[in-house]
Each structure stands twice: as C-alpha cells, then as structure tokens.
Amino acid sequence: SRHKCGNQKSCPQNHFAFKIISGAANVVGPSICFNDVVLMSSVKNNIGRGLNIALVNGSNGQLLKTGIFDMYSG
C-alpha cells in the first residue's frame, strides 16, 4: 500500500508525514513533502542552492512560508 509522501511506513494517528530529500549537486534537486503535499521541488520552481526551508503550522499542517538561504554566496 502507498503511504503519505512515499514513506515506507504510515505515521501514527495525530502525526504528520513528511519527507525531505536534499538533492545531489546539480543533478537532482531538493524536495520537501509534507502530509502528501509537495511544498518545494524543482517542478514547482521554488528551490535553490543552499538551505531550502518550509515553515508549517504544527497544529493544522498549513504551509505558512517557504524560503531559500544561499550559504555559498553569503
């Protein structure tokens, strides 16, 4: 059976599922999936070099904000 965000196991009740993939150089971009919704990915064109961060409300799972911090260029 399929689990949220493609995880191998389902999450306990009253918990959110998430999966973060860091990417590999310029070949595979990073992605963030939360509760079976892709928040950031190369397909959504909202990722970049450095730290990709998604701020999510911990009570209801609503996406509040995404951001990119380019640690290379300063």
- pLDDT one-digit tens code per residue, 7-58: 999 999 999 999 999 877 777 889 999 999 999 999 999 998 888 999 999 9
What are the phi and psi torsion angles at 65 (to 5°)? -165, 150
pLDDT at 71 over 90: no
Residue 28 lies in a domain: yes
Enclosing domain of residue 22 = 4-69
Number of domains in the chain: 1
Residue 26 lies in a domain: yes
pLDDT at residue 38, as a whole number: 96
Residue 12 lies in a domain: yes
pLDDT at residue 20, as a whole number: 94
Contact (Cβ atoms closer than 8 angstroms) between residue 46 and residue 66: yes
Residues 6+ apart with CB under 8 A from 48: 68, 70
Residue 74 lies in a domain: no
pLDDT at 70 over 80: yes
- C-alpha 62, offset from chain centre: 13
